[in-house]
C-alpha cells in the first residue's frame, strides 16, 4: 500500500523500483517511535533486503529493543540531490528523494540473521565480507538484526527545474540546479595498521 501524500501531489511517486533505488543509494535512515507518549527519532544505518529494510545494532540498545518488541514505527530515508536555484527565494527549493515507511519491525535469528549481517556489511562496503574473518559467536550474540517490511510507504521526488512565473523568467535573475552528491575521500590507514598491508579491493572501490 502506498500511503497518500496530501501536499505536492505532483511529486508523489508510486513506482516501487524508484523506492528501491533510493533505499539502495542511501544507508542513513531515521526511525521514529513513541516513548512515554513522546515522539523520538533515531538515526541508524539501513539496508534493503528484497521486500524489507534491515537495521542492526547492539542487543543493549533500548530503542532497538523497543522496535524488536513490535513498537509502531515510521522510517524515513532521504537523499538531498541538489539545490534548485530559482529567480525568487519562494520558488527556490531542494532536489530530494524522500521515502517514509510505516509498520513494525521483527527480529531475525539463526542463519537468516547471519546472512542479514553480511548483507549490511556488503551494502556499506561492497565486497568487504569476503575479505574478513567470520563473525565470532560472541559478536553474533551481541548483535540484533531487525527487519521492517516494505508494505506501507510513500515516496516523494523533487527533480524538476525551477518553476518561476513568466514575470520572473523575463527578469535578470539566474535559474538552474546545482547537483549535490556524497563523495568518498582517500582511505586513511589506522594508526595501528601493520606495515605492508595494502588497501583492499573493497575499500579502493569505494572511490
Considering only residues 98 through 137, tell me which ones interact with its own copies, judged by CB under 8 A. Answer: 98, 100, 102, 117-118, 121, 124-125, 128-129, 131-133, 135-136
Coil, strand or helix: which one is 18?
helix
Torsions phi, psi for 54 (to 5 deg):
-95, 145
Q: Binders of its own copies among 34-53, rule CB under 8 A?
A: 34, 37-43, 45
The one-character DSSP state at 2 is: B
Shortest approach of its own copies to residue 89 CB, angstroms?
Answer: 4
Shortest approach of its own copies to residue 157 CB, angstroms?
Answer: 12
Q: Binders of its own copies among 166-205, rule CB under 8 A?
A: 168-194, 197-200, 203
Q: Is 172 left (phi over 0), alpha (psi -120 to 50) or beta?
A: alpha
Shortest approach of its own copies to residue 118 CB, angstroms?
Answer: 7
Q: Is 175 left (phi over 0), alpha (psi -120 to 50) or beta?
A: beta
User: Of residues 47, 52, 96, 108, which one binds its own copies by CB under 8 A?
Assistant: 96
Query: Any contact of residue 90 with its own copies (CB under 8 A)?
Result: yes
Torsions phi, psi for 65 (to 5 deg):
-65, -40
Amino acid at each position: 500500500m502506498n500511503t497518500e501524500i496530501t501536499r505536492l501531489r505532483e511529486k508523489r511517486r508510486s513506482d516501487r523500483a524508484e523506492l528501491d533505488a533510493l533505499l539502495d543509494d542511501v544507508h542513513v535512515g531515521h526511525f521514529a517511535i513513541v516513548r512515554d507518549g513522546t515522539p523520538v527519532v533515531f538515526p541508524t544505518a539501513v539496508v534493503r533486503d528484497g521486500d524489507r529494510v534491515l537495521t542492526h545494532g547492539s542487543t543493549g540498545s533500548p530503542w532497538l529493543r523497543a522496535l524488536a518488541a513490535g513498537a509502531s514505527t515510521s522510517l524515513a530515508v532521504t537523499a538531498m540531490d541538489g539545490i534548485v536555484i530559482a529567480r525568487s527565494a519562494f520558488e527556490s527549493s531542494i532536489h530530494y528523494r524522500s521515502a517514509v515507511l510505516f509498520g513494525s519491525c521483527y527480529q531475525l535469528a539463526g542463519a537468516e540473521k547471519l546472512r542479514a549481517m553480511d548483507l549490511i556489511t556488503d551494502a556499506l562496503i561492497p565486497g568487504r565480507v569476503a575479505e574478513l574473518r567470520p563473525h565470532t559467536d560472541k559478536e553474533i550474540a551481541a548483535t540484533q538484526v531487525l527487519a521492517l517490511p516494505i508494505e506501507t510507504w510513500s515516496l516523494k521526488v523533487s527533480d524538476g527545474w525551477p518553476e518561476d512565473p513568466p514575470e520572473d523568467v523575463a527578469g535578470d535573475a539566474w535559474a538552474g540546479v546545482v547537483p549535490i552528491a556524497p563523495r568518498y575521500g582517500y582511505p586513511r590507514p589506522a594508526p595501528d595498521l601493520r606495515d605492508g598491508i595494502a588497501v583492499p579491493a573493497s575499500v579502493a572501490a569505494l572511490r
